Amino acid sequence: MKKVLFAALMMFSSVGAFAQHAVGSFNLQPKIGVSIANLTDIKDSDPRVGIVAGVEGEYQVSDIFSISAGALYSMQGAKSTVSALGQSATATTKLDYINVPILTSLKLHEKLSLQVGGQFGFLAVKPEIGSEETIFYNGENFLDKGIYRNFDFAVIIGCKVRLMEDLAAELRYVNSLTNLFDKQHPALITTEFGNNNVFRHSYLSIGVEYRLKQLTIF
Would you state the pLDDT for residue 190?
58
Mean pLDDT for all residues in the chain = 80
Q: Which is nearest to 150 in space by CA: 178, 122, 176, 119? A: 122
Q: What does the alpha-carbon distance between residue 30 and residue 212 come to, in Å, rounded to a whole number? A: 8
Residue 172 located in a structural domain? no
Would you state the pLDDT for residue 197?
63
Identify the residue with better confidence: 188 or 33. 33
| pLDDT value at 193 more than 80 | no
Q: Which is nearest to 28 in space by CA: 68, 73, 72, 62? A: 68
Residue 94 located in a structural domain? yes
Would you state the pLDDT for residue 23?
87
Identify the residue with better confidence: 73 or 18. 73
- pTM listed for this prediction: 0.77
Q: What does the alpha-carbon distance between residue 56 and residue 211 come to, in Å, rounded to a whole number? A: 10
Q: Residue 131's domain is classified under what CATH number? A: 2.40.160
Residue 171 located in a structural domain? no
pLDDT of 113-138, one tens digit each?
Answer: 999 999 999 999 876 544 434 444 44
Q: Report the domain count for the chain.
A: 1
Residue 218 located in a structural domain? no
Residue 69 located in a structural domain? yes
Tell me the average pLDDT across 211-216: 78
Residue 173 located in a structural domain? no
Residue-number span of the structural domain to which 153 is assigned: 2-17+26-166+181-213
| pLDDT value at 53 more than 70 | yes
Residue 175 located in a structural domain? no
| pLDDT value at 152 more than 90 | yes
Would you state the pLDDT for residue 46?
82
Would you state the pLDDT for residue 121?
97
pLDDT of 76-88, one tens digit each?
Answer: 988 776 665 666 6
